[in-house]
Structure 1
Amino acid sequence: MNFDDTPQEAAFRAEARAWIAANAPKQYEEELRKSSLGGTVLKNVNILEVAKAWQKKKADAGWACLHWPKEYGGRGSSSIECVIWQQEEGPFGKLSGMFFIGHGMCGPTIMAFAGEAEKKKYLPPLASGEKVWCQLFSEPAGGSDIAGLRTRAEKRGDNWIINGQKIWTSGAHYSDYGILLTRTDPAVAKHKGLTMFFLDMKSPGVEIRPIKQASGASDFNEVYFADVTIPDSQRLGAVNDGWNVSLTTLMNERMSIGAGVSTGFPELFDFCNSLMLEDGPAIQDRSVRSRLANYAVKASGLKYTSMRAISALSNGERPGPENSIGKLVLGAMLQDIASYAMDLEGAAGALTSADEEIVNGQFQQMLLTSPSMRIAGGTDEILRNIIAERVLGLPGDIRVDKDVPFNKIPTKGR
């Protein structure tokens, strides 16, 4: 594969670079460069407001959600042009984190299953950042088994009444809309009785409770539904076909996580170039160089695996189960890099907050946050099963409840 720009791509890159140079919020550039997986933080400003302003400016100039059709708020660009934009946007791309779920997961699902009127109403403000979306899938009793969900949707006239609970919903506390997977028929096998909807997160009966994390942040939430009304026009796909609809969301989710999250390797490499150990610079230590080489190989593998997925998308193909590979490798790599950086730092790894210790605090936050990457979008175990069964063609796990009606599945051990 030739990664050099074609003349057309070079012209696109030059246009993008010039626009970013003239319009990016450069007053935040240094802070954004120092931000990592531990969390993008800007001092003395509301980062959501900054992110929305930058996204709206991009949308007004035709630089938002580049690969989306123009009528839905995009630019109609090729997948390669999207990659070029991400490269040129650099640290300012971290402001897009607020819209990661909406743009990477909810948007493609709406585009695939909503009616044309709904697409034209909801997608442009999603692309422009004026409206933020979240994904309401996981539940306390389901664990990694999304098909084990218990949130109920009951049809009443032209509406559906929702009761139940979701958990680990990222960004629910600042989201305007969400896509919601519910159970509409408990008398059939668990994968067959699900239906997908989208809803206004300010609807009566929706209660959001932030979850305090070990890192001190509250990015995740519990969401409760008590007789929430959703019109049938906001149903995505056919009744009881929600599992097939959710596969579009899940495949895009795993591809987005695998391709869109930093590995932490650039930060570690820069850190090792400046860190002094007892016997000299860390970068001159043979064991450190060996670990860095190992991480460099993995980071390169993730990059080109992502490029393979992008090439498939440019040919009009749907994201497939092979995209679970990138997410699986990324989650473990982030945790390993953060742990190794903390080992190198020693006691200094416990420091945070002070400006001169920004790098130390960065790895501490990365370590505290990294376990979530091995759970979000499917646990390591789930992803290994997907890769084994759907990519390698190995025999599937024995699933004793596969064809059992959901309401007949025991909920308690004997």
Structure 2
Amino acid sequence: MTQNRTPPPAASGPSRRRLLAGGAAAAAAGATVGAGVTAGLLTGATQPATTPTSASTSATDEVDLTRIVPFYDQTHQAGIRTPPQRHSVFMTFNLNAGTDAQDLQVLLARWSAAIAQLTQGKTIGTVEPSRPDAVGTDTGEAYGLAPASLTVTVGLGPGVFDDRYGLAAKRPALLADLPRIPGDVLQAGLTGGDLSLQACADDPQVAYHAVRNLARMVTTTAHTHWVVLGFGRASAGPGQETPRNLMGFKDGTRNVAGDDDYDRFVWLGEDAGWMAGGTYQVVRKITMTIETWDFDRISDQQRIFGRTKDEGAPLTGTAEFDTPDFAARGDGGYVIDQASHIALAAPENNAGVKILRRGYNFTDGLNDQGLLDAGLLFISYQNDPQHFIDLQNRLGRFDLLNEYIRHVGSGIFAIPPGPPTGSYIGQALFA
């Protein structure tokens, strides 16, 4: 493996049409169901949604499984700045041929009302219908479980704003398909998507239940595209210990933190129009050659990351949160290799730019070669996707870690702001 490769200079600064006849009716219906009082309209239920009476808590849990994360009346959608939960399910959808803007509008209204129910630990209709020949509107696997800090974040892909739906004038200014990035080996079945759902919870069954039931609602409007089940959060939020990726190293030590960072690097401002308070989501499925990595000597692993494996300290320090000294030299050259992951990703070497990392580990069992199929579901949020592109271009060309990872999936989505009570995600699109 080549030592001390030099990176480039740091960069400078029933028919759903019958449910809602027209945009005005859709908004009114969205307001009604958004308040959670007409679950029957959204789900076909004949009786109101119910709240379970017991909570799945354990004396050994470090988290409060009864915690509810608000859905309505938040400037930003939940699941972005929310302290990362332990589990995630990420799913994308493609809109079907023949779908129109009104179909999309209804789906977003139905999803919003359902998410509001789910995040409170409620069902989205009946689990056990009174008629034995009827189908339940909620699949029931989370019935009796606590909310577990469930959040569901909804994204809109570039395809939503093409000529099919008459929404081109509302396209977020910076939303476009990601260009090819060095080192990409993307698979078509794991790339793109018109809609995204990121469900996170401290109970894996709660997260899975949410996506499963939201996916049932797409009916003829859309179809599922790709999905990743994540576990073991790979980024930290306020008050959380830095977690570890499947290579055993702490991940996200220098993540975005504090109001100033979020305002500068994550949230869109008032000049973004209907997207004010929103952001852009980049998702990458990254596989790791786990077996090869496991046989690499510890000194090389630490050189690749630029950090110690146990404490997570930069190689120029002794504690995890010590500021790296990228200019420090030793007998063999730079103490922190200039092509190490930490050096290439550091704000100091990228014109001060940061992105919010909110990733999860994943495993899909064994691949066709009998090796572990596992890695990182990388999710980042930024107010300018170019920040991710510039950063990943540097990493894709020079990162020592590239010998052990492959980017096989990718997607970009606009994340609208949070909806007020009586509204739904993306309602301003249809005004």
Identify whether the pair has TM-score above 0.5, normalized to the shorter chain: no
Tell me the TM-score normalized by structure 1: 0.28
Question: Does 1 or 2 have the higher relative contact order (CA < 8 Å, sep 6+)?
Answer: 2
Q: Identify, as 1 or 2, the structure richer in helix.
A: 1
